Amino acid sequence: MTMIIDCHGHFTTVPKSFRDWRTKQVEFADDPVNAPKVSEGAILTDDQIREGIEGGQLKLQQERGSDLTLFSPIAGLMSHHLGNERTSLEWARVSNDNVKRVTELYPDNFVPVCQLPQSPGAPPANSVPELRRCVEELGFVGVNVNPDPTGGYWTGKPFTDREWYPLFEAMCDLDVPGMVHVAASCNPNFHGTGAHYLNADTSVFMQILQSDLFKDFPTLRLVIPHGGGAVPYHWGRYRGMSLEMMDRPLEGLLDNIFFDTCVYHLPGIELLTKVIPTGNVLFGSEMIGAVRGRDPDTGEYFDDTKKYVDQLPLSPEDKAKIFEGNARRVYPRLDALLKARGL
Active-site residue list = 286
The span from the first CA to the last CA of the chain, in angstroms, equals 10
CA gap 322, 183 in Å, rounded = 26
CA gap 60, 53 in Å, rounded = 10
Could you give the C-alpha distances from 313 to 6, 269, 309, in angstroms and in order?
20, 11, 9
Three-class secondary structure of residue 9 per DSSP:
strand
Phi, psi of 14 (to 5 degrees): -65, 155
Radius of gyration for the chain, computed over Cα atoms and rounded to the nearest angstrom: 19
- The sheet with strand 257-260 has its strands ordered as 5-10, 68-72, 110-114, 142-145, 178-180, 222-224, 257-260, 281-282
Q: What is the 3-state secondary structure (H, E, C) of 242-273?
A: HHHHHCCCHHHHHHCEEEECCCCCHHHHHHHH
Beta bridge partners of 110: 69
Beta bridge partners of 235: none
Phi, psi of 267 (to 5 degrees): -60, -35
Centre a 10 Å sphere on the Cβ of residue 101 and count the other Cβ atoms it contains: 16
For residues 26 and 35, is the Cβ–Cβ distance under 8 A?
no
The H-or-E segment that residue 310 falls in is helix 305-310
Torsional sign, CA 299, 305, 311, 312: positive
